[in-house]
Structure 1
Amino acid sequence: MASTAPLTSPAARTRHLGDRPVGPGHPVYITGEIGINHNGDLGTALALVDAAADAGCDAVKFQKRTPEVCTPRSQWELERDTPWGRMTYIDYRHRVEFGEDEYRRIDEHCRERGIAWFASPWDVESVAFLEKFDLPAHKVASASLTDDELLRTLRATGRTIVLSTGMSTPKQIRHAVEVLGSENIVLCHATSTYPARAAELNLRVIHTLQAEYPNVPIGYSGHETGLQTTLAAVALGAAFVERHITLDRAMWGSDQAASVEPGGLQRLVRDIRVVEESLGDGVKRVYESELAPMRKLRRVPGVVAQADERAERAERGEPAEEAAGARGSDRSDSAGDREPAAV
């Protein structure tokens, strides 16, 4: 999948989710994936919105399905045990879906809390449903990456599309990008196991995707337990991060075990902000805060011509008079810089 194509400018790799830029040079866009961890309960959904807002997430995400479309007909009448008793699978799928009234309340609550929301539509009818709302983006779940009809419908909305790439080959990813168009997508590396083992996260794929899609911001959708590997994804350049969230991992549901509880979510957001600040711009420099320790600890100052020193300071954007003053101060403090005595 790797390509030798050079990376383009950061501006070319920037997308917007609402009024929020996403891409190199911008803060990581952090999404709390609620999915169906609300188990069909509006109160739980609103509590998860609160947890994400309190943690400092940029958005929360849901999943929207039309049960009769997304559930194979052969599975409709299969019975399963649920927290609400034994029921058919199609009844269960309806039980955990929200309708327009619930999403109107979610939309209102997100506005009150100052956090965006969007969703993964799993079928064309669900796209039409979500288009009733002013959303910053749509999400393509990894399972839907091969659904060309859905991808074409999403592209036609004109909204930014976040595309997850779990359970997909490089060829399938290329085809999906061709269908969606690369000009308005965010591409997310993912491993679709719940929870995913560290050995199968393969985070270096983030660099592979960056090389093959130089005009597309690359993100990470994590399904692992723990927080360390998500922070590693940020260090590798992920511009968008998504993790499933829950009020309690012991709650019923297939995604709960791979989800982050409120306390962990607060730590994750905090640490992502620290990591992205620490990455810097890659230009090696001597910081002002290093000068005093340098004078105290460095026994041999080194040989640097004044012209070279001035050039280095100019590259750092320091005015010439500041450089001269700093040099004068340095020279007065260092015996190694004094002119040799006449002999």
Structure 2
Amino acid sequence: MSSIKSMRFLKPGCTFVIAEAGVNHNGNVNLAEKLVFAAAEAGADAVKFQTFKAEQVTTKHSPTAAYQKKNVGEDNQWKLLRPLELAESAYPNLIKACKKAQIMFMSTPHGHIDSAKLLKPMVSVWKVGSGDLTNLPFLKYLGQTKKPIILSTGMATIAETKEAVKTIEQTGNKKITILHCTTNYPCPPEEANVSAILDLKKNFPRYPIGYSDHTLGIEAALIAVGYGATVIEKHFTLDRSMPGPDQQNSLEPAELKKMVEKIRLVELLRGSGKKKPFKSELIIAQMARKAVIALTDITKGNKFTSKNLTIKRPAKGGLPPKLYWKIIGKTATRDIPADAQLKKTDFK
């Protein structure tokens, strides 16, 4: 984790943005490399792929999800996944491209220890897909590597998430980040439930919480950052018109760049969470706030009343309005012209 961008990972106040290339390379290493540079150009902190062998992920008779069948017309998962595999020989080139682009290389090992063993020397951080949250033997293996783990929680209950986290903790690994996620592609707005981030924060107070976004557009990701998400993961592609199960649900490079820019803005807008005035406000307060002012000419020896006192701007140099009641009934020690600020020595 040596690049400047990678240093944003788990840094307080910073959102680590993962550009999920996934299988949008369609098994083509040249296309995968283009995705690396596109992610870096967009300002993402990491680009993530998926590492698997179809026969280790699914049976040869497993059906596809409805969205997959709709997007590619294939009703068999094994047949769908086979052409989307990246050859082992592709990884050195991808890592080289990531170093050149100064972006962190990541890849999700899909539920099989063989894939994790292949990736172990290549990745600094594990990313676990939602489908493996209940794959406790797999989580135990990843935990034993002592590398940080980012855990997606799509389809999961709090109880299931606690069981997954406990499995990792039992290996002595406490470097866990938990991502809220809804496993639906695209995720309709009514199922995004972005505020579930707060529920995860409540149930896992010791761990950073983030968001893996499967909605269309960038709004949900920005809301998540507003809620304090430390990691944002978002699918992207070079061109949504390309074939593939995830292309249509992905951002294109210009959209990804806009999302990153807006995330950085939201980080600034979100602030520290502590209510206190800024230095710029303290300067403005001298003019915007008010002071006790003579409403009429006041002769020395006269008493101050609600008929000869008022409260107006500016505050600078005057007495704060909270002293108004204390001054009422006091006696003027000098002649005070109308519209003049009162001083501490003006009454007794």
Q: Same fold (TM over 0.5)?
A: yes
Say if 1:189 and 1:342 are closer, same or farther in 2 by CA, change over 3 A: closer
Distance 2:347 2:14 in 1: 58
Q: Quote the Cα distance in structure 2 between the aligned partners of 1:294 and 1:272.
A: 30
Q: CA RMSD in A?
A: 3.1
Aligned counterpart in structure 2 of residue 146 of structure 1, from 108, 130, 134: 134
Which residue of structure 2 aligns with residue 306 of structure 1? Answer: none
Change (3 A) 1:216 1:21: farther
Do the aligned partners of residues 117 and 330 (structure 1) sit closer, same or farther apart at CA in structure 2, a change above 3 Å counting?
A: same
- Secondary structure of 1:20's counterpart equals helix
Identical amino acids, percent of aligned pairs? 33
Match of 1:336 among 327, 330, 341: 341
Distance, in Å, in 1 between the alignment partners of 2:279 and 2:45 is: 34
Offset at 1:113?
0.7
Q: Aligned residue for 2:51?
A: 64
Unaligned runs of 5+ in 2: 294-314, 321-339
Q: Deviations over 1:184-205 (max 9, x none)?
A: 1110000000000111111121
Q: 1:94 to 1:290 in 2, by over 3 A?
A: same
Once the 2 structures are TM-superposed, how far is the Cα of residue 120 of structure 1 from its aligned partner? Answer: 1.0
- CA distance in 2 between partners of 1:301 and 1:233 (Å): 45
Q: What TM-score, normalized by structure 2, do the two folds share?
A: 0.77
Larger radius of gyration: 2
Q: 1:301 to 1:121 in 2, by over 3 A?
A: farther
Is the alpha carbon distance of 1:295 and 1:337 closer, same or farther for their aligned partners in structure 2, counting shifts above 3 Å?
farther
Structure richer in helix, relative to its length: 1
Question: Once the 2 structures are TM-superposed, how far is the Cα of residue 273 of structure 1 from its aligned partner?
Answer: 0.8
Say which SS state the counterpart of residue 174 (structure 2) adopts. helix
The superposition leaves residues 211-262 of structure 1 with CA deviations (integer Å, 9 ceiling, x where unpaired) of: 1111110010000001111100000010011000111222212212221111
In the alignment, structure 1 segments of 5+ residues that lack a partner are 1-16, 303-328
| 2:148 aligned partner | 160
The residue type equivalent to 1:225 in the other structure is: L
2:114 to 111, 115, 125: 125
How many Å separate the matches in 1 of 2:94 and 2:249? 23
Q: 2:187 — aligned with what?
A: 196
Match of 1:96 among 84, 94, 116: 84
Q: Pick from 48, 55, 59: which aligns with 2:35?
A: 48
Q: 1:63 to 1:214 in 2, by over 3 A?
A: same
Cα distance between partner residues in 1 of 2:147 and 2:342: 62
CA contact (8 A) 1:331 1:337 kept: no
Q: Is the counterpart of residue 274 in structure 1 residue 265 in structure 2?
A: yes
Letter in 2 for 1:104: P
Confirm or deny: 8 A CA contact 1:22 1:28 kept in the other structure.
yes
Q: Quick check: 1:221 aligned with 2:212?
A: yes
Q: Which amino acid is 2:260 matched to?
A: V
Aligned-residue offset at 1:292: 4.6
Q: Residue in 1 aligned with 2:296?
A: none
Give the 3 Å change call, closer, same or farther, for CA 337–140 of structure 1 in structure 2: farther
Question: CA offsets, 1:30-51, max 9 Å, x none?
Answer: 1000000111112221111111
Q: Determine helix, strand or coil for the equivalent of 1:330.
A: coil
Report the 3-state secondary structure (helix = DSSP H, G, I; strand = E; otherwise coil) of the residue aligned with 2:139: helix
Task: Number of aligned residue pairs: give it.
Answer: 297
Paired with 2:229 and 2:196, the residues of 1 have a C-alpha distance of 11
Kept in 1: contact 2:62–2:77 (CA 8 A): yes
Cα deviation, residue 156, structure 1: 1.7
Indicate the residue corresponding to 2:279 in structure 1: 288
The equivalent residue for 2:198 is: 207
SS at match of 2:41: helix
Partner of 1:263: 254
SS at match of 2:317: helix
How far off its partner does 1:69 sit?
1.4
Q: How does 1:4-19 map to 2 (within 5 A)?
A: none
Paired with 2:72 and 2:234, the residues of 1 have a C-alpha distance of 27
Scaled by the length of structure 1, the TM-score of the pair is 0.78
C-alpha separation between the residues in 1 aligned to 2:342 and 2:192?
Answer: 53
